[in-house]
Chains A and B, each alone.
Chain A
Amino acid sequence: MPNLTIDGKQIEVPAGTTIIQAADKLGITIPRYCYHPALPVSGNCRICMVEVEKQPKMQIACYTPVTDGMVVKTNSPKVLEVRKTVLEFLLVNHPVDCPVCDQAGECKLQDYYMEHGQYDSRLGDVKVKKEKKAFSIGPTVMLDQERCILCTRCVRFADNITKTSEFGVFSRGDHSQLDVYPGKQLDNNYSGNVVDICPVGALTDKDFRFKCRVWYLSQTKSVCPGCSMGCNITVEWDKMRPHQLKKARVMRLKPRHNPEVNDYWICDKGRYNYHFIDENRIQHPQLNNDLISWDQAADTIVTVLKQLRNSNRTNRIGVLASAQLTNEDLFVIRKFFKEDLKGAQVDFRTPEKPGDSDDFLMKADKNPNTAGALNILQPDVDAAQIVQKARNGEIDLLYVFGHDLVTLFGKEALYQMSKNVKLFVFQGSNVNETCRYAHLNLPSSVYAEKEGTFTNCQQKVQRIWPAFLPMAEAKGDWEILSLLSEKLGTKLPYQHSNEIFKDIAATIPAFSEMTYEKISDKGMILKA
């Protein structure tokens, strides 16, 4: 394996590694526009040029393979000078729209200029005007041809990752224009990713357009709950100025790099499905049409539970758990309903129609934690059977976690359940039609307000972190059950999701020896 020195630091890397990759491994970040680790090399921006000993000319780091004994300098005066030069050329025709450009604050032209530029402009010329400015090229993306530095990342993305080839660079010289094929739109399931990879503000997200300056955003790591792929994401939220944004906290989602799950990408459905975090939430416990306190709500439930337990009729408890819940939520459901209230009928497998899937990231199972639910709940009844019993009056307490039962079973069924079940509890984060038929509605947290874990379709356990506190009076799902357990007298010993996970690892063989530290932000696969 070749051994080379970069800025005095030595490293051994596999043959075929390029200088820029070796430098990244050492933590030395060479500036780059056209280079992207997931895309084929193009070598056209020229900003990654470095000095290589014994070579008369400077070489581009993104394309030059390392050789044994190579000595590379990435911060010599010559290299710093060339970076200034390239920046100057890129800025010759750049419109410098910073005050109105969404990319400001995360723009590579700005960043590298502040690091390596800082020269006085000697331009004094009219800039080349291009055809399309602030032009919609599809349902999700806006194009500004003048801001484009023609790095061709988007062209290579469309050619190689989605294989849909929407983008091209037309004409030549400094009249070159990036565009989609005239008349065609950027309309594939991964269109939002081109905004992530565009180093400048040429391709911007319509959903995020003019919404929030990026320096107001806080970032929290999480996992997309849209399907069983469990793409790693970062939830970006603004707590500073919610009054300007209709009290919305989350401004956007960005994919997080995980080479084993989603690499650098996320599908559009996952990317743009965050509005439910702030919109249409159930905010207060409600009994029929009256808002009540948590205490009152808990009492209402516990009264029925005590009756059923004392008369040995816990089999008249029906629980529709959900694969949208975290492993921790599900374990507490198992403990509370299946163990402490032995006989309760618990399942999560509602008859949903499988959703869209493709051979890239989208999975038909639109739940983030099916594998976890199977391993933890190990259900022995069928959700549809529970619903049927509820309709027939064989269930006294029906506890539903978030499902949209009207879509699944129809209004008639819900009407019957509402009539024939003694206490119909709906615990969920967002309002859906079921709420109108439930007797008691309890507000719970969304994933972005929880700490916990999901298990994806690869059997990989991944952690999520809470970005902010639950909205209004909402509580975490397992926290609500904890409250009930206290009143019921079977008090669950958990103060923190960490403690629940320890128990999961101790109880469920597939999770054995797992800890939050070991999982970290990359995930761990279940044991077979």
Chain B
Amino acid sequence: MEKIVTRHFGQENSHHIINYLKDDGYKAARKALTQMTPAGVIDEVKKSNLRGLGGAGFPTGTKWSFIPQANPKPKYLVINGDEGEPGTFKDKYIFEQDPHALLEGIIITCFAIGSHKAYIYIRGEYIKSMETVQGAVDEAYRAGFLGKGIFGTGYDVDVVVHPGAGAYICGEETALLESLEGKKGFPRLKPPFPAVVGLFGCPTVINNVETISCVPPIISKGAEWYAKLGCEKNGGNRLFCVSGHVAKPGVYELPNGTTLREIIYDHAGGIPNGRKLKAVIPGGISAPILTPDQIDVKMDFDSLKSIGSMAGSGGIIVMDDTTDMVWAAMVAARFFAHESCGQCSPCREGSGWVYRNVKRIYHGHARPHDLNNLPGIVNNIGGNTICAFGDAVSMSIGSYVSKFRNEFEAKIKDRVCQI
């Protein structure tokens, strides 16, 4: 399998521009700016079937085409490097080991959407990432790949690195814009969507780190090549993050459409200590949990959606049969309760309520009707909120209850821990 995003990982000093240039670095950007038109670039990305790798899986080329070119306001590109989805850690590797791939992708994307300024929002805890990326940006400026009139074309591209400050909700695109503007990370009411009214009220494209890092190879090797690598409607490879009860946790670049079974057993070394698989989260904590009979699913956006889950951020968390599922639900509920921004009432009150409810069930303090109420409460949050955080609480906690209901019932009946 051809490595795309991870092609420089593991090489010494892969983050320095000298080494990036040795491997045809910045040639794709030069090609785009000197030989192609912005519309041509968007078209190419559309044909490649590249889809957003931050979690939503929205077709990238289509997203770019929403920018109204006639609008006289400046256009912005924002790179979402908040990487807060539990189970996900791939963007950290791109930041630390191949930042120039990201920068080259930024140049091409800016050209395609008519933007002259890009912000890279990196979560505040990624200190090393921020230092590495800023270093790469400085190198790129010195080499003339960023700044005024790059590649002799007269096109300006400026890049600013901006730190987050410890709020998962800032991974939501409009919350991220609010954070960039110096405010609390409160997601905005939509419509209008960022493509029309985004950063500072201007048309904005927000894309994940990995998504943009895939753009240079698409431009140099062509959309058709990229589309073929993955599966139908979901081109290319993606970085799967495997963690939890596996022998070899880490980042694995594999084609979209690889089965979950293959990823867990063939690549991540399977489950250690002779234990069996009990459950697996396929795409970050917001994704509905899967049971062992479901792991032959192909890991692409459409296949996972069809079985009631989601490909999400590619964060795969494996749980073996020592795991108490009520406890796992409690940990997930606790995460959501801590990270709710508190703007709208269903999520603010609901996420705390769900956590306290599951906690009581886990500690054996619950009454029988608590379990009957839980699905209803959880369903009431989703669909009634300003952003998808509410839907995430709904879907993920709902899946624990529906798929492992017997464990919840046992807790209430026996008032003891299942394991």
Contacts and interface: CB of A to CB of B under 8 A. Distances in A.
Chain A directly contacts chain B within the complex, with at least one CB pair under 8 Å: yes
A481 to B, nearest CB: 59
Contacts of A86: 345-346, 384
Interface string A46-87: 110100000001101001000000000000000000100110
Contacts of B357: 125
A93 B353 CA distance: 9
Given A46-B385, A57-B383, A86-B384, A173 B345 contact: no
B356 A173 contact: no
B386 A90 contact: no
B345 A46 contact: yes
Nearest to A94: B349
A88 interface: yes
A45 B351 contact: no
A58 B370 CA distance: 28
Given A43-B189, A124-B370, A125-B356, A174 B348 contact: yes
A44 B343 contact: yes
A46 B344 contact: yes
B342 A176 contact: yes
A172 B380 contact: no
Interface string A112-123: 000000000011
B352 A174 contact: yes
A92 B353 CA distance: 7
A274 B167 CA distance: 49
A126 B346 CA distance: 18
Contacts of B207: none
A46 B346 contact: yes
A469 interface: no
Contacts of A58: 383-384
Interface in A4-41: 41
A443 to B, nearest CB: 54
A156 B12 CA distance: 54
Given A44-B343, A90-B345, A173 B384 contact: no
Contacts of A169: 342
Contacts of A49: 384
B139 interface: no
Given A57-B383, A172-B167, A174-B337, A44 B344 contact: yes
B221 interface: no
B350 interface: yes
A45 B384 CA distance: 10
Nearest to B346: A89
B345 A149 contact: yes
A377 B145 CA distance: 81
A89 B379 CA distance: 12
Contact of A44 (B338, B381, B386): B386
A229 interface: no
A173 B370 contact: no
A131 B352 CA distance: 17
Interface string B303-343: 00000000000000000000000000000000001111111
Interface of A is mostly: loop
Most chain A CB atoms below 10 A, which of B337, B352, B360: B352
B22 interface: no
A173 B342 contact: yes
Contacts of B343: 44
A61 to B, nearest CB: 12
Contacts of A123: 353
Given A44-B386, A174-B337, A90 B349 contact: yes
Nearest to B357: A125
Most chain A CB atoms below 10 A, which of B340, B345, B367: B345
Interface residues of B, number: 34
A90 B350 CA distance: 9
Nearest to B385: A46
Contact of A172 (B342, B345, B346, B367): B342
A491 B155 CA distance: 91
Interface of B: 167, 169, 184, 189, 337-346, 348-353, 356-357, 360, 367, 369-370, 373, 377, 380-381, 383-386
A124 B384 contact: no
A381 interface: no
Contacts of B338: 173
B346 A173 contact: no
B19 to A, nearest CB: 42
A374 interface: no
Nearest to A123: B353
A275 B263 CA distance: 78
Most chain B CB atoms below 10 A, which of A44, A89, A126: A89
B34 to A, nearest CB: 44
Given A86-B346, A89-B345, A150-B345, A173 B373 contact: no
Contacts of B349: 89-90, 92-93, 174
B353 A125 contact: yes
A45 B385 CA distance: 9
Interface of A: 41, 43-47, 49, 57-58, 60, 63, 82, 85-86, 88-90, 92-93, 122-126, 128, 149-150, 169, 171-176
A46 B351 CA distance: 16
A122 B373 CA distance: 7
Nearest to B340: A173
Nearest to B339: A173
Contact of B345 (A44, A122, A125): A44
A120 to B, nearest CB: 11
Contact of B384 (A63, A85, A90): A85
Question: What 5 A-B pairs have minimum CB-CB distances, sorted nearest first?
Answer: A174-B352, A176-B342, A173-B340, A92-B349, A89-B349
Nearest to A60: B189
Contacts of A44: 343-345, 386
Most chain B CB atoms below 10 A, which of A57, A125, A128: A125
Contacts of A57: 383
B341 to A, nearest CB: 5
A122 B369 contact: yes
A85 B380 contact: yes
B342 A45 contact: no
Contacts of B345: 44-47, 86, 89-90, 149-150
Contacts of B340: 172-174
B189 A173 contact: no
B356 A126 contact: yes
Nearest to B356: A125
B384 A46 contact: yes
Contact of B189 (A47, A63, A89): A63
Contacts of A89: 345-346, 348-350, 353, 380-381
Given A85-B384, A89-B345, A173 B167 contact: no
22 contacts: A43-B189, A44-B343, A44-B386, A46-B384, A46-B385, A46-B386, A49-B384, A58-B383, A58-B384, A82-B384, A86-B346, A88-B380, A92-B349, A92-B353, A122-B373, A123-B353, A125-B360, A126-B356, A172-B167, A173-B338, A174-B348, A176-B342
A494 B343 CA distance: 61
A238 to B, nearest CB: 35
A154 B348 CA distance: 19
B125 to A, nearest CB: 17
B76 to A, nearest CB: 23
Contacts of B369: 122
A90 B377 CA distance: 13
B380 A173 contact: no
Contacts of A60: 189
A125 B367 CA distance: 11
Contacts of B184: 172
B351 A173 contact: yes
Contacts of B370: 124
Given A149-B345, A173-B351, 4 more contacts: A43-B189, A46-B345, A172-B169, A174-B352
Given A90-B349, A176-B348, A124 B342 contact: no
A41 B386 CA distance: 13
A85 B337 contact: no
A336 to B, nearest CB: 62
A175 B339 CA distance: 11
